[in-house]
Amino acid sequence: MQQSIYQLATAGVQTLVPYQPGKPISELERELGLTEIVKLASNENPLGPSEKVKQAIQASFADLSRYPDGNGFALKTALSKKWGVDSSQITLGNGSNEILELLARAFLTTEHEVVFSQHAFAVYPLVTQAVGAQAKVIPAIDYGHDLNGMLAAINDKTRLLFIANPNNPTGTYLTEQALSNFLAEVPEHCVCVLDEAYFEYVDKSDYPDSIAWLAKYPNLVITRTFSKAYGLAGLRIGYSLSSPELADILNRVRQPFNNNALALAAAEVAIQDTEYLAATVALNNAGMQFVTDAFSAMGLPWIESVGNFVAVDLQRGAARINTALLHKGVIVRPVANYEMPNHLRISIGTEAENAFFINALKAVLADV
């Protein structure tokens, strides 16, 4: 009997279910022949890249025949100045997702365990299973992290802790006091990964300044991205901040030239464009208020979110409603794979996009 090619893969990969990204607009156009489509599925910035970023990309075209700077000197310098860290503390990734994968490759084997929360980012179990490590998923409290439960799950085999703050897809967050107490109890043999992909959107006085903890905790790594608040999702660029020693380990397994020249140039400008970031946050705040007010008017509960998305409880199976929304030209994100079968995650869009979605949702709910 001929051997299946799947049997040649490692045990973790054999049973791995690939990450399912949000449906592209072009795919829905092909499937349904729609011409008016709103995509609110992938937590993208509805403003698109800033004009300064577009100019930086244009200026980079002349050098596309050359390899990019493999060390990302200019971007690291800009990040160093922005966050008050040394360049040796920065690791650049092909999106922050790649940093998560680098951490798994650097610290995990089949003998190790990883701790993360229920309802947390889907990439955590993916990178864990891919290297054959064991995942310990801690039940959530009010859709957020149970830090005491996570501490109790740590043993001698635990090497990574993944904490998303704010959390995706729920939008919940952990306070400075809660995380400070948690980090003080994490043993040195565990690397704590603080995933801050959405931190730019948070306007809470008790949200932590996590960079201040780096000097105290050499086993802490903070991951961030340009995909969300800076509108560069299509260029795939992110970074981490950590101790120089931890960054050195990540850079040993990082592939050379993992960031393309356009992404490097765009990110260097984006991190300095404070006006664009302020406009992004203002648009998100207004949109969040509009969408959640509409949910209240429809009698739909939602999870209070500090990100650029919100999970709404439809109080029934969300799959059917999601399909109906697709037929009306609205792409949102089902989160049944996060053990939230009655919820849809809605990215905050422009004023017109938010209104289009709410009108479509009202029409769909009136028919079901």
Question: Which is nearest to 168 in space by CA: 191, 147, 138, 198?
Answer: 198
pLDDT of residue 2: 66
pLDDT tens digits along 176-215: 999 999 999 999 999 999 999 999 999 999 999 999 999 9
pLDDT tens digits along 339-368: 999 999 999 999 999 999 999 999 999 987
pLDDT of residue 34: 82
Q: Distance between CA atoms of 328 and 360, rounded to whole angstroms?
A: 6
CATH 3.40.640.10 region(s) of the chain? 51-272
In the beta sheet, which residues pair with residue 232? none
| Helix and strand totals (H; E) in the chain | 13, 12
**How far is Cα of residue 341 from the mean position of the Cα atoms in its chain?**
20
pLDDT of residue 337: 93
Name the percent of the chain lying above pLDDT 90.
89
Name the percent of the chain lying above pLDDT 70.
97
CA Rg value for the chain:
21
In the beta sheet, which residues pair with residue 93? 238
- Strands (DSSP E) found in the chain: 38-39, 90-93, 113-117, 134-138, 158-164, 191-195, 220-225, 238-242, 309-313, 330-331, 333-334, 343-347
Looking at residue 119, the DSSP 8-state letter turns out to be: T
Q: At 194, which amino acid appears?
A: L
Confidence of residue 5 (pLDDT cuts 50, 70, 90): confident
pLDDT tens digits along 247-286: 999 999 999 999 999 999 999 999 999 999 999 999 999 9
Mean pLDDT of 322-339: 95
pLDDT of residue 301: 98
pLDDT of residue 11: 75
In the CATH hierarchy, which top-level class contains the domain 22-48+275-367? alpha beta
Q: Which two tokens stand for residue 196?
A: 């801050």
Burial of residue 109 (number of CB atoms within 10 Å: 0-12, 13-18, 19+): exposed
What's the CATH number for 51-272? Answer: 3.40.640.10
pLDDT tens digits along 68-90: 999 999 999 999 999 999 999 99
Tell me the pTM: 0.94
pLDDT tens digits along 113-167: 999 999 999 999 999 999 999 999 999 999 999 999 999 999 999 999 999 999 9
How many CA atoms does the CB half-sphere of 320 hold within 13 Å?
8
Q: Distance between CA atoms of 79 and 67, rounded to whole angstroms?
A: 21
CATH 3.90.1150.10 region(s) of the chain? 22-48+275-367
Torsions phi, psi for 92 (to 5 deg): -95, 140
pLDDT of residue 255: 92
Looking at residue 61, the DSSP 8-state letter turns out to be: G
Q: Which position has the token pair 């300064």?
A: 52
Buried b / exposed e over 147-161, threshold 16 CB at 10 Å, is bebbbebbeeebbbb
Confidence of residue 227 (pLDDT cuts 50, 70, 90): very high
Q: Could you please report the per-residue DSSP string of 166-205?
A: S-TTT-----HHHHHHHHHHS-TTSEEEEE-TTGGG---T
Count of CB atoms situated within 10 Å of the CB of 230: 26
